[in-house]
Chains A and B, each alone.
Chain A
Amino acid sequence: MSDINALIVDDSSVMRKIVERALRQAGLSLNKVYEASSGAEALDVLKSEQVQLILSDINMPMMDGLEFLRQMRAQDLAPDVPVVMITTEGSEEHVKAAIAAGAQGYIRKPFTPEQVKDRVLPLLELV
């Protein structure tokens, strides 16, 4: 698998660092890591940058993760890029809502690097 560009969307800069570290610990070779603190900011990134993986929180100010997903699909941004939600909202209803909005994976906080690896690597092998 060649180096990939990833977009990490979370209003917490600490969580963005933790997610990036988990991706590297999972064995991913990252070329560039783009960060966004809201769904709106993430959409702006996708309009100008190419990424091969998106990880997004759900609860964020300005535009939450589910609305970001819907807007991403509606604007045909990164149509073939796998999206994994990483969030404290772990109920079955939230998972269903995320999948319905277009997510391919779901990780509940708190998480281990192994959980990130198990959710993310299979999605990248499918692309």
Chain B
Amino acid sequence: MATPARELLQESAHAQDLDSAVEEVFRLMMGANCAPAEEHVFGNDETITAVIGLAGAMSGACTLRCGMDAALRMAECMVGVRPAELDDMVKDAIGEVCNMVAGAWKGKHPVLASGCMLSTPAVVTGTNYQLHMQQPEFRIDRSYRFEEHAVNISIVCESIQ
């Protein structure tokens, strides 16, 4: 009898898979290192958060949150020109980074690779806000260091089919 998706997903090394996905995306698309770091709390700083929904075998979301300088630098690394301000191009870039991290992470697990779809990105900017999901099956919260910037990336699993 095939192992249920719930059992397979609970057993996986999700945090390691996320670290690997983040490293791959930053290296290939930005030529930059992005490694796990000590937990970072953004507090009252203005930040930008991208959200990618996950649906199918797993329902949930992948979020990427960083400060404004980090966002401008990521966009610069991707397109080769430093933006003057947090404009639509920068928001697009952060959304795409989150999209690729979510895709690379789910691609490391056979159940999710074919059975879980990604939404188009949503991007939020502001200060002092929190994202909440009720009673997730599991969640992974990681902080990373990209040059001198902190980047927080989370995978929240709301339910498993």
Contact = CB atoms under 8 A, between A and B. Distances in A.
B114 A110 contact: no
B156 interface: no
A90 B105 CA distance: 11
A91 interface: yes
Nearest to B27: A110
B107 A90 contact: yes
Contact of B100 (A13, A91, A109): A109
A125 interface: no
A17 B79 contact: yes
Q: Is the interface of A mostly helix, strand, loop or mixed?
A: loop
Contacts of A14: 75, 78-79, 89, 92-93, 96
A90 B75 CA distance: 24
B103 A88 contact: yes
B102 interface: yes
Contacts of B104: 88, 110
The size bracket of the interface on B is: 20 to 34
A5 B1 CA distance: 52
Interface in B13-29: 24-25, 28-29
Contacts of B28: 110-112
A88 B25 CA distance: 11
Given A18-B29, A88-B99, A89-B103, A59 B78 contact: no
Interface of B: 24-25, 28-29, 75, 78-80, 88-89, 92-93, 95-96, 99-100, 102-104, 107, 113-114, 117-118, 120
